[in-house]
Amino acid sequence: MKPKIKLLMILGIILISVVPTTQIFAQGYESVQTQSTFVNSKKCFVNPSPSVDWSGCSALIPLELHFKDMSGANLSKMVAKNSEFYAVNLSGANLQNVVLIGGDFAYANLSGVDLRGADLRYVDFYHTNLAGANLNGANIAGARFPGVDFSNSKLAGLDFSHTNMIGANMYKADLQNAILVNVDMRNANFTNANLGNATLINSDITGGSFADADLDDTNMGGLDYSGTDMSCSGNSSCHGK
């Protein structure tokens, strides 16, 4: 055996004795597993199905989803600007801290959805079902809500100013401290809603209903409520039953 070969073999034996082979292979396997686990667990924007996990995913181009069932999905911290979720079923899904600027949720089912801290600027919620949804801390500047079902939803402190809420259903919604300045709320239903300390200045609520609503300390200056059921309580504008 040549001296050089013998020297290399000796060095190899020394290396193996100093660093166990299990450690060497474990390190290599660990890095591969980490990458594989990430790819397999996230599957970002692939297979839109019930309970799918797209949490933390970021779309490079807008998504176009129509009539999909994604009930119970985890989309928390997802970024999908200018995307379409037309008639998508997202009932019971986790959408905490999502970024959906400029999105379209027309006719989508978002009942019971967690939208706390979501960025919903300029989103179109045309006839969307948001019954029982939690939007506390969400940014809804420039969003539209015509025909939306907000019944039993948590909307406290939200700023709905200058938006369209024609025909919206706000039955038993929590709107404490909400700001609804210059809002088109014609034919909207606020029956049994909690509007304590809310601001409804210069909005159009004609044809709507505030029956049994709580308007304690609500600012209703400049409202047009002709033809509106004002059998509410807690405000001088209310005239009871």
Structure tokens, 60: 């490079």
Residue 161 CB coordination number (10 Å):
18
Provide the β-strand partners of residue 179.
159, 199
Q: What percent of the chain has pLDDT over 90?
A: 76
Q: Please report which confidence band the pLDDT of residue 104 belongs to, taking 50, 70 and 90 as the band edges.
A: very high
Q: Which of 61, 60, 103 is closest to 85 using CA atoms? A: 103
Distance CA 159, CA 27 (A): 52
Identity at 143, one-letter amino acid code: A
Could you tell me the residue ranges of all domains in the chain? 3-36
Q: What is the mean pLDDT of residues 36-47?
A: 62
At residue 39 the predicted structure's pLDDT band, cuts being 50, 70 and 90, is: very low
Q: Would you state the pLDDT for residue 28?
A: 30
pLDDT in tens, 124-135: 999 999 999 999
Pairing of strands 84-86, 64-66: parallel
Give the model confidence (pLDDT) of 177-225 as tens digits: 999 999 999 999 999 999 999 999 999 999 999 999 999 999 988 887 7
pTM above 0.75, yes or no: yes
Q: What pLDDT sits at residue 241?
A: 55
**Once rounded to an integer, what is the mean pLDDT over residues 11-27?**
41
- The pLDDT of residue 25 is 29
Using DSSP, how many helices (H) and how many strands (E) does the chain show? 2, 2
Task: Give the rounded percent of residues in the chain with a pLDDT score beyond 70.
Answer: 82
Instruction: State the amino acid at position 65 in one-letter form.
Output: L
